[in-house]
């Protein structure tokens, strides 16, 4: 049988989950609404821009009717929501394929790249931040602070071509572009992950310094625990709570940065698909790509809230 204490814990967790879901619904509504209004905020006639200035009037009228743009705006809004709920995001004019099919084919590549970039950032930032905190104001702390500042100052569009020149052309150990093989992940993941690693390094350092000054750390040392056990077994676990929040927030930045990075490395993901759709004035595809990025960001923030509550049970109280 489930104890009374466990039942209360499950009840608090369920209440917290429902509360976060209730907070997420207005955000989802706002994301869908903004994406819908984008096509109406574009200067000029989007159908005319899509078909070109030399398009016949009958073709423009037929295309406007096919996209439902000849209907009143509230009715278009209702139809768009109905399509989103049914998974129908329209049809790409340039590629003559359903937008949902194109997005579904590109989204996993972007998600894998973002997760690899986040893994690179965590593997670099956590050891560097801990080292910097435990060696405060020493030469290695100053060196790590310098490199983290350098990482913050170096944009993706500059780092990407440098990595191509170095590893693909000069050393010839990685492919120039594409997504075939594990080696293809290295350069775009490093390009996206270095700037995030710089942010996380400073975050881990600050959080670790705060934890290392707490009373429970002094108690653990007084009990004779080894320094590595004190640092990694006690201080780091509590120091990672705010870092998890930053990771969730920065995931959206990784998705936005993927647009530039995927274009540089010819990565077949959602970012490159968005750029091609903008270049081709394929507004239905642009809407589908941006909607997917926005909803992914919302979902990741929701999962971050759950992870934060798991690390810090006091949040559920």
Per-residue model confidence (pLDDT) at position 287: 85
Please state the rounded mean pLDDT for residues 10-16: 72
Burial 177-190 (b: 16+ CB within 10 A, else e): eebeeeebbbbbbb
What is the pLDDT at residue 280?
77
Share of the chain above pLDDT 90, in %: 0
Q: Is the pLDDT of residue 2 over 60?
A: no
More confident: 219 or 67: 219
Over range 90-97, report the average pLDDT: 79
Instruction: Give, in order, the Cα–Cα distances in Å from 285 to each of 71, 85, 112.
Output: 20, 17, 21
Q: What separation in angstroms does the CA of 57 have from each of 6, 52, 257?
A: 69, 11, 39
Give the model's pLDDT for residue 8.
Answer: 67
Has residue 211 got a pLDDT over 70?
Answer: yes
Query: What would be the CATH architecture of the domain defined by 99-316?
Result: Orthogonal Bundle (1.10)
Quote the pLDDT of residue 4.
61
Average pLDDT on 84-90 reads 84
> What's the whole-number mean pLDDT along residues 70-80?
83
Backbone angles phi, psi at 217, to 5 degrees: -70, -40
Mean pLDDT of the chain: 78
Q: Can you give the pLDDT at residue 43? A: 67
pLDDT tens-digit map of 52-66:
777 777 877 887 777
Kindly report which listed range (80-94, 175-189, 193-207, 253-267) carries the lowest average pLDDT score. Answer: 175-189
Q: Hunting for tokens 């108690």 — which residue is that?
A: 219
The mean pLDDT value for 97-117 works out to 87
User: Could you tell me the residue ranges of all domains in the chain?
Assistant: 11-86, 99-316
């Amino acid at each position: 049988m489930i104890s009374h204490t466990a039942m209360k814990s499950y009840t608090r967790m369920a209440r917290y989950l429902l509360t976060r879901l209730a907070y997420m619904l207005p955000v989802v509504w706002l994301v869908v609404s903004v994406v819908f209004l984008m096509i109406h905020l574009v200067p000029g006639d989007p159908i005319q821009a899509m078909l070109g200035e030399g398009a016949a009037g009958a073709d423009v009228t037929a295309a406007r009717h096919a996209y439902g743009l000849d209907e009143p705006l509230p009715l278009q809004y209702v139809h768009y929501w109905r399509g989103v709920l049914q998974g129908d995001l329209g049809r790409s004019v340039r590629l003559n394929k359903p937008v949902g099919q194109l997005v579904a084919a590109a989204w996993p590549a972007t998600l894998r790249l973002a997760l690899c970039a986040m893994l690179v950032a965590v593997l670099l930032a956590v050891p560097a931040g801990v080292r910097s905190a435990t060696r405060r104001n020493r030469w290695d702390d100053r060196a790590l602070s310098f490199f983290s500042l350098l990482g913050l100052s170096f944009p993706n569009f500059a780092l990407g071509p440098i990595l191509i020149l170095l590893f693909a052309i000069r050393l010839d150990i990685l492919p120039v572009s594409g997504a075939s093989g594990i080696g293809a992940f290295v350069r775009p993941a490093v390009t996206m992950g270095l700037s995030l690693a710089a942010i996380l390094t400073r975050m881990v350092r600050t959080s670790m310094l705060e934890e290392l000054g707490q009373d429970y750390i002094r108690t653990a040392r007084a009990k004779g625990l080894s320094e590595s056990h004190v640092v990694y077994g006690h201080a780091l676990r509590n120091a990672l709570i705010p870092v998890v929040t930053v990771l969730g927030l920065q995931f959206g930045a990784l998705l936005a940065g993927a647009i530039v990075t995927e274009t540089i490395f010819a990565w077949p993901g959602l970012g490159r698909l968005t750029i091609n759709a903008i270049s081709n004035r394929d507004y239905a595809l642009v809407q589908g790509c941006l909607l997917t990025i926005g909803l992914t960001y919302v979902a990741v923030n929701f999962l971050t809230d759950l992870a934060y509550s798991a690390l810090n049970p006091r949040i559920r109280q």
